[in-house]
Amino acid sequence: MFGKMKDAARWGALEQKLRRVLAAKSVHKGASVRLSEIGGEERISIVLAESPDLDGAGAKALEAELNEAAGGIPVTLVVTLHKAAGTASEAPAPERVARGHDNPLALPQQGGPANANENVRARPAKQRPIGAKRVIAVASGKGGVGKSTIAARLAIALANQSKGRVGLLDLDIYGPSLPVMFDLEGVNPKVDEGQVIPLEAAGLSLMSIGFLVSEEKALAWRGPMVMGASKQLLDEVRWGPLDWLIIDTPPGTGDAHLTLLQRTRIDGAIIVTTPSPLALADMKRGATLFRQMEVPILGLVENMACLPDGSPSPFGDTLSDEDLAGAGMERLAQIPLDGGVAAPIGRARPEAGQAPFETLARTLSELDRFAERR
Ligand SMILES: Nc1ncnc2c1ncn2[C@@H]1O[C@H](COP(=O)(O)OP(=O)(O)OP(=O)(O)O)[C@@H](O)[C@H]1O
């Protein structure tokens, strides 16, 4: 709308309009109103200090009003317990989201609501989830390319190779896949003093929104709720010491991605594609947001890249070495289209289809940046 934020005058007018909406509710003091462009999409982030005039329902209504005023640019409202200071492009203050949105998973909080301030963990910006030594995000430019499968089987391969304790976090709020993949549907994790205890299966510690709320309930969530739930999954899971935390990111570049990238220190991202005429564009799209947020791209995994006997994939050609070099990307692995890979993992470690992931895990753990950290 503003043509890569060049039209300062028009943005200035819109910013004033949004500030007037805030002023009408007496919550404008110290508000940060920022326009950012992520993955080619403009969005507005408004950060407010907590105010007695704004409860959870009020914040939701205000966000709807701001969205209307913004004329098509999505607005996300975050209410902090501290003075408003965060912006969309900077790492946020150590806040929790709006009251009413700060605990969408309804975890019993230590000490109850009267002590809400005591629950705020003073987190400097961009930390790894507590206990995790290395954090790897698995991402793609489009959905359905096998991201969750690759994240899960890579995690299993790291555990198989005794590369230490491995956690797998499914951050797909709208379409969690871990419960089905690991045959854990309907199994609920324990909650202790406001922290969720991961489930254990296939030698991994597992956490997914799908273990905590029903899919229908999560589907009804809007921006602030998704951000609140993502924050809880990133901050309030008691992983214990982990050598590797593999994060399965949702498709697209939505609120869960923003939350992840703004507050989590990620050691590297693996981009997944499948052979297709658009694979190069997909790969670049997948990498853009991570690069913008200064997360190192570890490389590309081409899924369904060939048949199990090595013959060409029915989906098309894999990317050429020149394409990869042009995109400044390394190829980490090619995974065949294989019924063994598609088979459910269950609670035990699978053997069928697992071999290429063992190679991928070795490649990953031997990357200089990780080998150094033994
Ligand atoms: N190498 C493979 N060979 C055969 N089937 C595969 C392979 N990789 C993934 N699949 C199958 O493809 C489907 C999509 O995989 P998956 O759910 O992992 O994709 P995703 O990218 O995580 O999807 P979403 O975008 O919905 O999160 C699943 O049915 C999975 O079993």
Convert the pLDDT of each residue in 236-281 to its tens digit.
899 999 999 999 998 766 777 888 888 889 999 999 999 988 888 8
Closest to 48 (Cα-Cα) out of 100, 93, 83: 83
Pocket test for ligand 1, best of 148, 168, 273 (most atoms within 8 A of CB): 148
Residue 27 to residue 38: CA distance in whole angstroms: 27
DSSP track, 168-217: EEE--SSS--HHHHTT-TT----EETTEEPPEEETTEEEEEGGGTS-HHH
Query: Which residue positions form the known binding site?
Result: 141-148
**Atom 5 of ligand 1: nearest residue by CA position:** 342
Q: Would you state the structure tokens that stand for residue 209, as one six-digit string?
A: 């929104």
- Which helix (DSSP H) or strand (DSSP E) does residue 54 occupy? none
| Closest ligand 1 atom to Cα of 143 | 25
Share of the chain above pLDDT 70, in %: 80
CA of 342 to the centre of ligand 1 (A): 7
The count of other CB atoms within 10 Å of the CB of residue 192 is: 12
Question: How far is residue 61 from each of residues 22, 224, 282, measured CA to CA in Å?
Answer: 12, 12, 36
| Closest ligand 1 atom to Cα of 342 | 31
**Atom 30 of ligand 1: nearest residue by CA position:** 342
Residues 325-342 have a mean pLDDT of 92
pTM as predicted: 0.71
Share of the chain above pLDDT 90, in %: 33
Convert the pLDDT of each residue in 73-97 to its tens digit.
888 776 654 333 333 333 333 333 3
Give the single-character DSSP code of 115.
G
Band of residue 167 on the pLDDT scale cut at 50, 70, 90: very high
Ligand 1 first shell, C-beta below 6 A: 140, 143-149, 172, 175, 177, 251, 303-304, 335, 337-338, 341-342
ipTM: 0.98
All domains in the chain, ordered by first residue: 8-102 (3.30.300.30), 135-371 (3.40.50.300)
Closest to 320 (Cα-Cα) out of 360, 279, 271: 279
Pocket test for ligand 1, best of 138, 140, 149 (most atoms within 8 A of CB): 149
Residue 169 forms beta bridges with which residues?
A: 207, 247
Residue whose token pair is 């020149």: 322
Residue 116, SS3 per DSSP: helix
Query: Which residue positions form the known binding site for ATP?
Result: 141-148
Convert the pLDDT of each residue in 284-327 to its tens digit.
888 888 888 889 999 999 999 999 898 998 888 899 999 999 88
Q: Tell me the H-state helices in the chain.
A: 8-24, 56-69, 116-119, 147-160, 178-181, 215-219, 223-235, 255-263, 279-292, 321-326, 339-342, 355-366, 368-371
CA of 147 to the centre of ligand 1 (A): 6
| Closest ligand 1 atom to Cα of 150 | 18
Residue 64 to residue 356: CA distance in whole angstroms: 47
Residue 359 to residue 269: CA distance in whole angstroms: 17
Give the single-character DSSP code of 364.
H
| pLDDT, position 89 | 31
Convert the pLDDT of each residue in 9-68 to its tens digit.
788 889 889 999 988 888 887 777 877 665 566 778 777 766 667 777 788 889 899 999
| pLDDT, position 175 | 81
Answer whether 90's CB lies under 8 Å from 38's CB: no
**Atom 15 of ligand 1: nearest residue by CA position:** 146
| pLDDT, position 38 | 53
